[in-house]
Structure 1
């Protein structure tokens, strides 16, 4: 068997995808390295090195990052007590959670809830620093052929599909500066039950490649799109969508096209502070 044997490579991908699924589905539980090794069916001495080589970060870093991004979503979009968020994020004390959250997000959790970037999209609460119509630009987008992995469930969990996709790309040496990361979202979370929400984690590559499961090809249709650039944590974007649809679209005189919206991620959450993450939210127009 050679190092480039596709069967061997796919077995590693399948094993580590099981690990990722378990991590995403058990973020409230303590990190058990030995249990993850069992799920991967790999040696507990070596599997985490394979994981880091394929995903670019340690498994502990993955868990910490996912818990903190989820915590930001809880703070921006709900009223869960901060002490409960800290506990669900794996911190033994509110103080340690506050310290870590402040270091990553640039402000403590209570301040983030009151003054995070999501507040810009709520004029009554923004203190004047609110979004205006000119914050949206109309852009002509060509058809985009997207290598993608399907996801069903909470949009906040689409990272599971992205990690599967990134592992698939890394194993084939397809990373390049020209590739573009996108997420395609098919359903309205205000109407469709969370467990049934459909989305795709995708990447636009500079050249055509041979596709194999769990990856497939999908297209983003060409046309005019209203593009709102969001700066800040992904957990903040629910308010951005509400403003884009409820304020901008209604006042613009335009109508949404019969096609899904998509997001383009302009930097990498693994090496970018959450406050500096840039996302283009793209709404198709007639």
Structure 2
């Protein structure tokens, strides 16, 4: 499949699923649920192969990255505690969340929040 061209109906299904992930990054869902929610007519194996072919990453890795990008946005305001953000992102343990966040962003969620807060209050002169 690596060099084969995906049929346009499959490409549309894959784009639809990617768009759904982009619009609902904190929603935890299985591959089957993604297919159902987007009314896509595509098999699981073809979705996995096609997604990687079109976007250069596995679908679950893409979902995780989007979820942790949303977490970064949540950290930029003090509306939610670290525990609340951890839960919103689908993690039962804060240490797992911190590890995943650091893998994607290169710093811990606490460092991210502190860096953003410092930028907000930094004197421009």
CA distance, structure 2, for counterparts of residue 19 and residue 104 of structure 1: 22
CA distance, structure 2, for counterparts of residue 52 and residue 103 of structure 1: 20
C-alpha deviation, 1:65, in angstroms: 0.6
**How big is each residue's C-alpha offset from its partner over 1:204-253, in whole Å with a ceiling of 9 and x where there is no partner?**
xxxxxxxxxxxxxxxxxxxxxxxxxxxxxxxxxxxxxxxxxxxxxxxxxx
Of Structure 1 and Structure 2, the greater helix share is in 2
Does structure 1 conserve the Cα–Cα contact (< 8 Å) formed by 2:102 and 2:108? yes
Structure 2: state its 5+ residue gaps: none
- After superposition, where does 1:93-242 map in structure 2 within 5 Å? 93-116=93-116, 119-124=118-123
Structure having the higher Rg: 1
What is the aligned-residue RMSD (CA, Å)? 2.5
Does structure 1 conserve the Cα–Cα contact (< 8 Å) formed by 2:35 and 2:42? yes
- Count of paired positions: 120
The corresponding residue for 2:70 is 70
CA distance, structure 1, for counterparts of residue 52 and residue 80 of structure 2: 33
Structure 1: state its 5+ residue gaps: 125-130, 133-286
CA distance, structure 1, for counterparts of residue 69 and residue 86 of structure 2: 12
The two structures have a TM-score, normalised by structure 2, of 0.77
> Which secondary structure state, in structure 2, belongs to the residue aligned with residue 91 of structure 1?
coil
> Which secondary structure state, in structure 2, belongs to the residue aligned with residue 77 of structure 1?
coil
C-alpha deviation, 1:64, in angstroms: 0.6
Confirm or deny that 1:53 pairs with 2:53.
yes
> Would you identify which runs of 4 or more consecutive aligned residues in structure 1 move more than 4 Å?
none
Specify which of 12, 16, 19 is matched with residue 18 of structure 1. 16
Does structure 2 conserve the Cα–Cα contact (< 8 Å) formed by 1:74 and 1:80? yes
Does structure 1 conserve the Cα–Cα contact (< 8 Å) formed by 2:21 and 2:66? no
Of Structure 1 and Structure 2, the greater strand share is in 1
